[in-house]
Amino acid sequence: MLQLFLFFWVALGQDVFLDPGEYEDLSLEEIGVSVKELRHQRPTEQPRKTKGASMGVKFRNFRREALEMYWDDGTPQGTYSGRVPGLGRTATMTYQSHTFFFKRGDAEIARFEMLPAKNFYIIEPDDEEIRRSQEYQDALREKAFMEAYEERTGTPWLSFYPRDPPVLHMWPAEKVGQTHAVATPFGPDHPLALRLTVLSTAPRVFLIPELLSRDECDHVVELGKTVVRQSMVGQGGGFQSKTRTSLNGWLPRGKSSVLDNIYRRFGHVLGINDTLLGPSHNAEELQVVHYSKSQEYAPHHDFGDDGTPEQRFLTLLLYIHVPDEGGATSFPKAFNGKGLQVVPNRGDAVLFYNMLPDGNADDLALHAGMPVKKGEKWVCNLWVWDPHR
């Protein structure tokens, strides 16, 4: 009945129907999604305070020179983790008790052990002019704000500071099983009725079955084969890492009429005007990712802090070819650290928000692409920014 009703709604000239989400609650078992403990995130009443728990952290470099960042893996050289510009910043996902050190040439400039409830680390200036600068004083105020925010909310502040609340539409996620209905005239060849079902409220995760048709999936895979290359991690162009062993590439909206129609559908399902879904406004180009057997993407956040309020607001993850075994998408901090694993069908999508309604980045939106055990996996990411790119 829902499909029929929404079909006629669109046929009558209505672009989109947005349901308030007052459907009967569904259990995770009824939704068909598995919830289980993940090895790298033990369940606890306060997962952020537990030794070994994953955490997002920010670093500020108040030296004039660029520094090389390393994770202390127990070897003399450590694991290279990127470059921090002079008077610049970076952010990463790590674990409590891990240690990072920063070098200029052979000289170690700073070293930090990741401590519970401490998510901001300052590489102190070595001259008084910088110490008296407005930027350094602002960083001290930011540090004080972050400590007060976490004390008040129990959540680390990981976004740019100061940051206003998001301006783009955010679907409510009040309870698991809550469902929102959307109708769009931009189906593959006819109007389409879609549902967004809440899989997790913290982080906000939704399942959208059959967002793409099989033919559309085939089309995107074929386009993807022409652009994929070794995936990178990190900010500012990134670097290769064993934490991300896939191939990826980028597809512009204008690559084909099929892609353009899919983008119009994205606008309706996200509740965002599709004209904003482009690099000149609020969205990156569509990223296509290929995983072969044993390839994965270790737990990570999609957000960062590059020194501006602009932030990746949401991730729309589309499954265009599913592996025979493995390759689930996991959210290890969902359900108080018990974790959520999503194993969708081909053409399904998962929507999750990287930001909270108050403008903070959502630490619980930590997610991973689990290793492919058999076959191959193709997915697409649409990243939408707020307030703009």
SS (H, E, C) the chain: CHHHHHHHHHHCCCCCEECCCCCCCCCHHHHCCECCCECCECCCCCHHHCCCCEEEEEEEECCCCCEEEEECCCCCCCEEEEEECCCCEEEEEEECCCEEEEEECCEEEEEEECCCCCCEEEECCCCHHHHCCHHHHHHHHHHHHHHHHHHHHCCCCCCCCCCCCCCCCCCCCCCCCCEEEEEECCCCCCCEEEEEEEEEECCEEEEECCCCCHHHHHHHHHHHHCCCEECCECCCCCECECCECCEEEEECHHHCHHHHHHHHHHHHHHCCCHHHCCCCCCECCEEEEEECCCCCEEEECCCCCCCCCCEEEEEEEEEEECCCEECCEEECCCCCCCCEEECCCCCCEEEEECECCCCCECHHHCEEECCEEECCEEEEEEEEEECCC
With bands split at pLDDT 50, 70 and 90, how would you rate the model's confidence at 117? confident
| 387 Cα distance to chain centroid | 16
The number of beta carbons lying within 10 Å of the beta carbon of residue 232 is: 12
How far is the C-alpha of 307 from the C-alpha of 187, rounded, in Å? Answer: 39
Question: Mean pLDDT over residues 223-240, rounded?
Answer: 72
Between these two residues, 37 and 107, which has the higher pLDDT value?
Answer: 107
Task: Lowest mean pLDDT of 11-15, 81-85, 301-305, name the range.
Answer: 11-15
Structure tokens at 49: 């305070």
Axis crossing angle, helix 214-225 with helix 257-270, rounded to the nearest 10: 120
Percent of the chain with pLDDT over 90: 79
- Label residue 228 exposed, middle or buried (CB < 10 Å: 0-12, 13-18, 19+): middle
- pLDDT tens-place string over residues 243-272: 566 799 999 999 999 999 999 999 999 999
Task: Lowest mean pLDDT of 33-37, 300-304, 340-344, name the range.
Answer: 33-37
- pLDDT tens-place string over residues 45-61: 333 333 358 899 999 99
- pLDDT tens-place string over residues 62-83: 999 999 999 999 999 999 999 9
How far is the C-alpha of 66 from the C-alpha of 379, rounded, in Å? Answer: 35
Nearest-CA neighbor of 176 among 155, 153, 154, 207?
A: 207
With bands split at pLDDT 50, 70 and 90, how would you rate the model's confidence at 24? low
Percent of the chain with pLDDT over 70: 83
Task: Lowest mean pLDDT of 36-40, 213-217, 240-244, 245-249, name the range.
Answer: 36-40
**pLDDT at position 53, please?**
80
pLDDT of 308 over the 90 cut: yes
Structure tokens at 321: 């070819």
Question: Mean pLDDT over residues 126-154, rounded?
Answer: 96
Task: Lowest mean pLDDT of 205-219, 298-312, 345-359, name the range.
Answer: 298-312
Nearest-CA neighbor of 329 among 366, 293, 284, 363?
A: 366
How far is the C-alpha of 39 from the C-alpha of 111, rounded, in Å? Answer: 28
Question: Mean pLDDT over residues 326-352, rounded?
Answer: 96
How far is the C-alpha of 175 from the C-alpha of 160, rounded, in Å? Answer: 29
**pLDDT at position 389, please?**
87
